Amino acid sequence: MVLACLCGPVTAAPLERYEASEPHMGTVVRITLYANSAGQAQRAFLAAFARIAGIDERLSDYKPSSELNSLGAAWRPVSHDLARVLRFSQELARRSNGAFDITAGPYVRLWRAARRNGRPPGEADIEAARPAVGSMGIEWRGAQARLTRPGMQLDLGGVAKGYAADEALAALRRHGIRRALVAVSGDIAAGDAPPDRTAWRVEAGGRVHQLRYGAISTSGSREQFLDFNGTRYSHIVDPRTGRAVTGTDEVTVLARDGMTADALATALSVDASLGAVLIRRYKIRIL
């Protein structure tokens, strides 16, 4: 963990600004906070990064030993973290008419291989994956869950980072830190503003925004994509068709929390026509 104090004049504010970063969830997580002392900041950073690491152990589809990858045809107890994300995602799948669907893992893996191989997957491969996709294939029995379709693979890439940002903020609050900003790649969650400002200034979608007590997320193909025969295929897959979203557009969403901002940015990248419906239901803003 890299820890740095960016201290202003003592007369400007009783709190001091600290920054730290660590690699988690396939990216670099950056946290900025204001604390009374370096010791308080250090303890808060350790707690926040530990919380993110724990979430990654549960929700990662890359780690074979993760709780997510342990789900299968047998009933299995589900942790609080995984249950919250799964239930939220199932509701959003229904409200977005399938534009957001965490069971699209088989399609996602096809397009990951396509980016490595330099060419899109064939139609036969997409059709072969289709029977394993569908959010109703996740069933619940109290605090237990199971997957009912053969070959189902869950992918939380469009929601887990936002949830992790929320939970890191909560960990900081438990250590007395309320003025903080957590950035997990393009998913940013903010607490109270710095002592000398009314809001955090954050860059998202190529613009600077003011953020306080909320979250902002940008989704698009700027960093992960496949260019083939003049078409750019995003890493974002339309769960309804099994095909990658094409084009270079980005979607930036402002929401009350990181999980909502992350997931809604993904859903609107798939189908922008859902904007009016999702704005009313989730109280978001599209920036």
pLDDT in tens, 58-117: 999 999 999 999 999 999 999 999 999 999 999 999 999 999 999 999 999 999 999 999
The overall average pLDDT reported for the chain is 93
Residue 30: inside a domain, yes or no? yes
Average pLDDT score over residue span 177-185: 97
Does residue 230 belong to any structural domain of this protein?
A: no
Query: What's the count of helices (H) and strands (E) in the chain, helices before strands?
Result: 8, 16
Residue 132 structure tokens? 């394993």
Confidence check: pLDDT of 251 > 70: yes
**pTM of structure:** 0.92
- What percentage of the chain exceeds 90 in pLDDT? 89
Position 13 scores a pLDDT of 47
pLDDT, average across residues 10-37:
89
181-198 average pLDDT score: 96
Burial of 72 (0-12, 13-18, 19+ CB in 10 A): exposed
Full domain range(s) for residue 187: 2-60+161-215
34 domain-assigned: yes
**Per residue in 204-232, pLDDT tens?**
988 999 999 999 999 976 668 999 999 99
- Start-to-end CA span in the chain (Å): 33
Question: In the prediction, which pLDDT does 6 show?
Answer: 58
d(CA 31, CA 208): 18
Instruction: Count CA atoms within 13 Å of residue 128 on its CB side.
Output: 7
* Confidence bin at 11 (pLDDT 50/70/90): very low
43 inside domain: yes
Whether the pLDDT of residue 12 is over 80: the answer is no
What's residue 10's pLDDT?
Answer: 44
Query: Cα–chain-centroid distance for residue 82?
Result: 13
DSSP string, 174-235: HTT--SEEEEETTEEEE-SPPTTSSSEEEEETTEEEEESSEEEEEESSSSSEEEETTEEEEE
Radius of gyration over every alpha carbon of the chain, rounded to an integer in angstroms: 20
Bridge partner residues of 72 (DSSP): none
- For residue 269, give the nearest of 236, 225, 240 by alpha carbon: 236
pLDDT tens by residue, 139-167: 999 999 999 999 999 999 999 999 999 99
Say which range, 29-33, 152-156, 248-252, 255-259, has the weakest mean pLDDT.
Answer: 248-252
What burial class does residue 174 get, using C-beta atoms within 10 Å of its C-beta: 0-12 exposed, 13-18 middle, 19+ buried? exposed
Q: Give the other-Cβ count within 10 Å of 24's Cβ.
A: 20
> Quick one: pLDDT at residue 248?
72
Q: Is the pLDDT of residue 35 over 70?
A: yes
Domain count, the chain: 1
